[in-house]
Structure 1
Amino acid sequence: MLTENTLRPQERAAIATVPTGLFIAGQWRTTEATLPVVDPSTGQLLADVADAKAQDGLDALTAASDAQAGWAATPARERSDILMRAHRALLDDTERLALIMTLEMGKPLTEARGEIAYAAEFFRWFAEEAVRLDGGYMAAPAGGSRFLVTKQPVGPSLLITPWNFPMAMGTRKIGPALAAGCTCVVKPAEQTPLSMLALADILDRVGVPSGVVNVLTTSDPGALTEPMILDSRSRKLSFTGSTAVGKRLLEQCAKTVMRTSMELGGNAPFLVFDDADLDAAVEGALAAKMRNIGQACTAANRILVQRSVFDAFADKLATRLAALPMGRGTEDDVVVGPLIDAGAVAKVVDLVADAKQRGAAVRLGGEAVDGPGNFYPATVLTDVPDDADLCHTEIFGPVAALAAFDTEEEAIARANDTPYGLVSYVFTESLRRGLRVSEALDTGMVGLNQGVVSNPAAPFGGVKESGLGREGGTTGIDEFLETKYIGVKL
């Protein structure tokens, strides 16, 4: 491993601004053990951050629990104003935060800047939602009493965020929690803790009271989070990550009947019909496949193209992907950065090898590149059979897996043939077909003639084994609210 001294001066300066301790009750706390954070494009050390243990987690939960009543009683306008200040602070600090994200996660700087803007928008959206919480008043049908309905914060919330969108997935959870009046303990992914630590510092500076937001970094997530989950003071868990881990967390939450929302794995189908605008479909596929180097739960996993336009689409897509520069995300014009770690590269290598062994043809790429760094080139596979492993698991890499279909009914059946149901994509110039297919697809979200569906103002979430609940939109804050009915006798 290289030392931190090999970083460029501006990179070293950005990393040096990030606190490296645990953030508990408004204070930064050091730990005896530390967790190394490395640049996936070089393997060089970026920083050593605190490594929380179970007692640290319980201390953070205590801080959140102690702050809960005061934060819930804080006027909604004041909570909204704090979130608006956080929104502005993120935008004003875009260049520093984007560089930190690119260094620890690998995504190109252009994408990192886009994520900061996306992350900031969650704070603005939920700042606006904070002052619009409503309830109800009605007469009992039989007369004699009235029904009052009000909404109150769930309480201290445990928020677990992933490594692939280390800032936006934090604000997508912290924003509605704070807007609703909930305190929280945030556990970022061990691969990318720096973005969340930088965010905690910003939230502290814009006036979030002590104990309202607590951040714990750790090398042993299970040992840290389980005692907090089993503690009756925790009233909500919001998790983004793999379905396998989500299922284990649900089992733990069942013991205290904790409120949960889960954004889990995906296996997104991308359907291209013969009447589609192929150029638009290719651009949509690039957006759906290559965002975050393919490391997104919304990434197009199975690209199904109607047979009569299959070759034309495959050629256009391969040409576009071949032109994308690969390299360290901090370099100008780079589009294909590194995968998060060596294990991610090994997974993609195995999935491509399995598809090739089952008859898939390589139109572009298909072979790992030598290090340093965790790089895999943009790849196009054609004639991928439905029994290939990559059709049944998230690829999480820059591999476009193409297969042909003949009829609309066949496309829908194959698209729905998965236990996952997060998002799907449909490209067609027929409005009737677009709506018909969109309604038939068994997913929580559909991109109709667009390759990106994520938007803070829209509800994000899936069905089946892709999760529970929704984040964003007008429903996102409901995940952090309890509905209370008060019967009034007249």
Structure 2
Amino acid sequence: MLRLSFALSRHVLLRKSILASCKRTAAFMSTLLINQPQYAWLKDLGLKEENEGVYNGIWGGRGEIVTTYCPANAEPIASVRQATLEDYEETIKKAKEAWKIWADVPAPKRGEIVRQIGDALRKKIKDLGSLVSLEMGKIFVEGVGEVQEYIDVCDYAVGLSRMIGGPVLPSERPGHALIEQWNPVGLVGIITAFNFPVAVYGWNNAIAMICGNACLWKGAPTTSLISVAVTKIVAKVLEDNKVPGAICSLICGGADIGTAMARDERVDLLSFTGSTKVGKQVALMVQERFGRSLLELGGNNAIVVFEDADLNLVIPSALFAAVGTAGQRCTTARRLFLHESIHDEVVEKLAKAYAQIRIGDPLDSTTLYGPLHTKQAVMMFLDAVEQAEQQGGSVVYGGKVLNRPGNYVEPTIVTGLLHNASIVHTETFAPILYVLKFKTEEEVFAWNNEVKQGLSSSIFTKDLGRIFRWLGPKGSDCGVVNVNIPTSGAEIGGAFGGEKHTGGGRESGSDSWKLYMRRSTCTINYSKDLPLAQGIKFQ
């Protein structure tokens, strides 16, 4: 009888515990932004309270559930079930099988499917742009602009699908032809960062697809909902065209998934966007297996302003480059070199411009400046400001955390530091602009190049000779070298990427497509003779 009574008590306690857990879960679900009326558009993107984070033709995922939060108010949006290593293994096998079908589709037909992906994105551009604002934190116009960038790359890739290929070269041997043949590498792994959760995938995906590759995407865990929403749009197009969905596979996960991709010989090219520190680890793992990697890493970008510059261009350019996306672009201007004759004037005007920045909800169309992505980023901001002051800098604007919900900090201007101060040479992913004086062209060109990264740079001047020295071999050593425009805001038609610790990779336009293909030099003998090259006789 005692045993029965004890068993009944345990049953009652267990039932109460389960009910309490269910109530807590229900209460949590009710707080999710996806369940609030003003965010009903999230469901129009196919999202729900708990989303599957693995796609390989079918949706799944058996890993932990990760909830993503809105940086503007710290409230939970929805959750995504991450991948396990078993999910990864299944997905990569399906992606490799899908490639066998996709590689046989003629390139112009692949381009037609990519065109349809662009059209599908157009139909969802506002909702998808809003999701970028909600989950990443960038302002609405930038969120929409990021989706537009993916669309633009799709348009570009459509034309490219009828142009990729190599030349027919003249042979020194009679009756022979040399042909440069380009073929897809196979499976392209794409690891993207939180700050451009749509565009960077788009650069890689559209070009890789028209080249005949399958793609395996791992986005940042903190922007998993964006990864899921984009993949749902792409998957529908693939399904409508009756081609395997695994051509564009998705695998949401953390460092274990990224490490697996880097070490996996089945990943023929790994495109990684992120910090220099992690990028170096990825590069070493890929190189250890003699694999191919495409790295888009950090940037410590500079704007150089000479005494003859048009300040009507300088002020808005510096403002956008330093403050856009709350300083979280890889192309953000972090160093502003001013000729000593105009230093004080520019700093005064720039501080006034900073004071007029409209800070607020990223989804409000009037907002120009939103939050940092995470609380960790806020702490890094505060640490950098403290170090700058310790190293002799003066905060002439900003420097504090804003007293409001979310991850908001003041856009910040620091003057008085040496060009080689350690904090100036440190890339801090935050809206901190170090303003520095210079005297001569020679010294400022050297200062631009003395940091370890080499992504973006810009000069403001009317001197034609100086412009071409800036573009020349002793000028800027960056992959993006601008004149009289900001360091950020690159167009898709040019190759995007940087040198040195930025990684050396190139994405998007120009001949970046070549990185997604393997090249063969083919010699064809259509004669009845067998002459050898270089006139060698072997008889």
TM-score bracket relative to the smaller structure: over 0.9
The alignment status of 1:468 with 2:496, answered yes or no, reads no
Indicate the larger mover: 188-197 or 3-12. Answer: 3-12
Q: How far apart are residue 235 of structure 1 and its match?
A: 0.7
Could you tell me which residue of structure 1 aligns to residue 57 of structure 2?
26
The alignment status of 1:11 with 2:39, answered yes or no, reads yes
Could you tell me which residue of structure 1 aligns to residue 334 of structure 2?
301
Could you tell me which residue of structure 2 aligns to residue 131 of structure 1?
162
Q: How far apart are residue 411 of structure 1 and its match?
A: 0.6
The alignment status of 1:364 with 2:388, answered yes or no, reads no
Query: Is the CA contact (8 Å cut-off) linking 2:301 and 2:333 kept in structure 1?
Result: yes
Q: What is the rounded CA distance, in whole Å, between the counterparts of 1:310 and 1:229 in structure 2?
A: 46
Indicate the larger mover: 434-443 or 235-244. Answer: 434-443
Could you tell me which residue of structure 2 aligns to residue 40 of structure 1?
71
Taking the TM superposition and a 5 Å limit, the aligned residue runs for 1:156-167 are 156-167=187-198
Letter of the 2:182 partner, please give it: K
Q: How far apart are residue 198 of structure 1 and its match?
A: 1.1
Indicate the larger mover: 13-22 or 64-73. Answer: 13-22
Indicate the larger mover: 393-402 or 417-426. Answer: 393-402
Tell me, which stretches of 5 or more residues in structure 1 are unaligned? none
The alignment status of 1:96 with 2:133, answered yes or no, reads no
Q: What is the rounded CA distance, in whole Å, between the counterparts of 1:266 and 1:28 in structure 2?
A: 36
CA deviations over 1:233-270 (Å, ceiling 9, x no partner): 22110111111111111111123211111011111111
Q: How far apart are residue 12 of structure 1 and its match?
A: 4.1
Secondary structure at the residue paired with 2:108?
A: helix
Secondary structure at the residue paired with 2:524?
A: strand
Q: What is the rounded CA distance, in whole Å, between the counterparts of 1:59 and 1:389 in structure 2?
A: 46
Could you tell me which residue of structure 1 aligns to residue 236 of structure 2?
205
Q: What is the rounded CA distance, in whole Å, between the counterparts of 1:108 and 1:231 in structure 2?
A: 37
Could you tell me which residue of structure 1 aligns to residue 441 of structure 2?
408
Taking the TM superposition and a 5 Å limit, the aligned residue runs for 1:189-338 are 189-207=220-238, 209=243, 210-218=245-253, 220-221=254-255, 223-338=256-371
Q: What is the rounded CA distance, in whole Å, between the counterparts of 1:304 and 1:135 in structure 2?
A: 43
Query: Is the CA contact (8 Å cut-off) linking 2:54 and 2:87 kept in structure 1?
Result: no
Could you tell me which residue of structure 2 aligns to residue 340 of structure 1?
373
Query: Is the CA contact (8 Å cut-off) linking 2:33 and 2:78 kept in structure 1?
Result: no
Could you tell me which residue of structure 2 aligns to residue 457 of structure 1?
493
Secondary structure at the residue paired with 2:519?
A: strand
Query: Is the CA contact (8 Å cut-off) linking 1:147 and 1:486 kept in structure 2?
Result: yes
The alignment status of 1:175 with 2:206, answered yes or no, reads yes
Query: Is the CA contact (8 Å cut-off) linking 2:54 and 2:61 kept in structure 1?
Result: no
Taking the TM superposition and a 5 Å limit, the aligned residue runs for 1:382-397 are 382-397=415-430
Q: Which of 365, 373, 380 pairs up with 2:406?
A: 373
Could you tell me which residue of structure 1 aligns to residue 139 of structure 2?
108
Taking the TM superposition and a 5 Å limit, the aligned residue runs for 1:114-153 are 114-143=145-174, 145-153=176-184
Change (3 A) 1:364 1:229: closer
Query: Is the CA contact (8 Å cut-off) linking 2:32 and 2:76 kept in structure 1?
Result: yes
Q: How far apart are residue 28 of structure 1 and its match?
A: 0.9
Letter of the 2:500 partner, please give it: K
Q: How far apart are residue 387 of structure 1 and its match?
A: 4.3
Q: What is the rounded CA distance, in whole Å, between the counterparts of 1:360 and 1:405 in structure 2?
A: 16
Q: How far apart are residue 282 of structure 1 and its match?
A: 0.9
Q: Which of 172, 188, 195 pairs up with 2:219?
A: 188
Could you tell me which residue of structure 2 aligns to residue 446 of structure 1?
481
Q: How far apart are residue 178 of structure 1 and its match?
A: 0.3
Q: How far apart are residue 99 of structure 1 and its match?
A: 1.1
Secondary structure at the residue paired with 1:207?
A: helix
Q: How far apart are residue 68 of structure 1 and its match?
A: 0.9
Change (3 A) 1:246 1:32: closer
Indicate the larger mover: 466-475 or 228-237. Answer: 228-237
Query: Is the CA contact (8 Å cut-off) linking 1:64 and 1:212 kept in structure 2?
Result: yes
Indicate the larger mover: 81-90 or 96-105. Answer: 81-90
Q: What is the rounded CA distance, in whole Å, between the counterparts of 1:200 and 1:448 in structure 2?
A: 37
Q: Which of 459, 472, 476 pairs up with 1:426?
A: 459
Query: Is the CA contact (8 Å cut-off) linking 1:459 and 1:475 kept in structure 2?
Result: yes
Change (3 A) 1:16 1:33: farther
Q: What is the rounded CA distance, in whole Å, between the counterparts of 1:27 and 1:106 in structure 2?
A: 30
Q: How far apart are residue 22 of structure 1 and its match?
A: 2.8
Query: Is the CA contact (8 Å cut-off) linking 2:414 and 2:433 kept in structure 1?
Result: yes
Query: Is the CA contact (8 Å cut-off) linking 1:58 and 1:227 kept in structure 2?
Result: no
Q: How far apart are residue 97 of structure 1 and its match?
A: 0.5
Q: How far apart are residue 53 of structure 1 and its match?
A: 1.7
Q: What is the rounded CA distance, in whole Å, between the counterparts of 1:358 and 1:228 in structure 2?
A: 41
Q: How far apart are residue 142 of structure 1 and its match?
A: 3.9
Letter of the 1:131 partner, please give it: R
Q: What is the rounded CA distance, in whole Å, between the counterparts of 2:177 and 2:41 in structure 1?
A: 61
Letter of the 1:14 partner, please give it: L
Q: How far apart are residue 8 of structure 1 and its match?
A: 4.6
Q: What is the rounded CA distance, in whole Å, between the counterparts of 1:365 and 1:207 in structure 2?
A: 48
Q: What is the rounded CA distance, in whole Å, between the counterparts of 1:373 and 1:313 in structure 2?
A: 31
Q: How far apart are residue 232 of structure 1 and its match?
A: 2.5
Query: Is the CA contact (8 Å cut-off) linking 1:149 and 1:485 kept in structure 2?
Result: yes
Q: What is the rounded CA distance, in whole Å, between the counterparts of 2:449 and 2:230 in structure 1?
A: 38
Secondary structure at the residue paired with 2:195?
A: coil
Query: Is the CA contact (8 Å cut-off) linking 1:445 and 1:453 kept in structure 2?
Result: no
Letter of the 2:235 partner, please give it: D
Q: What is the rounded CA distance, in whole Å, between the counterparts of 2:365 and 2:268 in structure 1?
A: 45
Q: What is the rounded CA distance, in whole Å, between the counterparts of 1:444 and 1:13 in structure 2?
A: 39
Q: How far apart are residue 16 of structure 1 and its match?
A: 6.5
Letter of the 1:132 partner, please give it: M
Q: How far apart are residue 453 of structure 1 and its match?
A: 4.7
Query: Is the CA contact (8 Å cut-off) linking 1:446 and 1:453 kept in structure 2?
Result: no
Q: What is the rounded CA distance, in whole Å, between the counterparts of 1:389 and 1:305 in structure 2?
A: 19
Query: Is the CA contact (8 Å cut-off) linking 2:217 and 2:249 kept in structure 1?
Result: yes
Could you tell me which residue of structure 2 aligns to residue 84 of structure 1?
115
Letter of the 1:204 partner, please give it: A
CA deviations over 1:46-86 (Å, ceiling 9, x no partner): 11101112121121111110011210111112111111111
